[in-house]
Structure 1
Amino acid sequence: MMSDQYIMVITTTSNKEDAEKITRHLLEKRLAACIQIIDSISSYYWWQDKINCDQEWLCLIKSHQSVYDLLEKTIIEIHPYEVPEIIALPIVSESNNYLKWLGNQLVNPSLF
């Protein structure tokens, strides 16, 4: 099933507590239906003119394009990073039952 309206948003944090804080906040606001936290990933990146390597926690956030702007704003408000990674990828195919469940968990975007 094609579903270009459903998205997976990716963000990273420097510790488990921040990942859990963002997760709980997004779920409580119903801006996400499901979030998986993967720990102990190695992130290599440029920052302040040098290459850095840090251990991070990866958050995989399942949501809908219609609430992306509010989801992004919410992450930025509570994320401790100066420039948090917030990347949205389309979910191009998924089981019908999963997409139905996902959609039923999210806030009605017409409320905003």
Structure 2
Amino acid sequence: MEAKELDKAICEAASDKKARDIVSMDMRELTPTCDYFVVCSANTATQVRAIADNIEEKLAEQGESFLHKEGYREGEWILMDYGDVVAHIFRQEAREYYALEHLWADAKLTPYED
């Protein structure tokens, strides 16, 4: 799957579980490690895990599996590395604290609209 297709599939899977404020960050000019970040948030750790589970399940159905996942047990910030695309699923408070959109302010942001 191409990076842009993977980005869209992650956004859709997050949206299916009512993730809030889903944005795609174009990282191609900023880092050699990936092409896109998908950033989204949820109200509770349970919802953060449900979003991560749905992303994993929906992408697995399309033959894609993550290379690395961390933060699942705590449910505050789950990172799922799919190679060209890295998904960041935050509890709202953690998203505000880490502020990836501000840290990587040079990245072009595209809000996801279903």
Indicate the TM-score class for this superposition, using the shorter chain for normalisation: 0.3 to 0.5
TM-score, normalised relative to structure 2: 0.47
Instruction: Name whichever structure is richer in strand by fraction.
Output: 1
Structure with the larger RCO, 1 or 2 (CA within 8 Å, 6+ apart): 1
TM-score, normalised relative to structure 1: 0.47
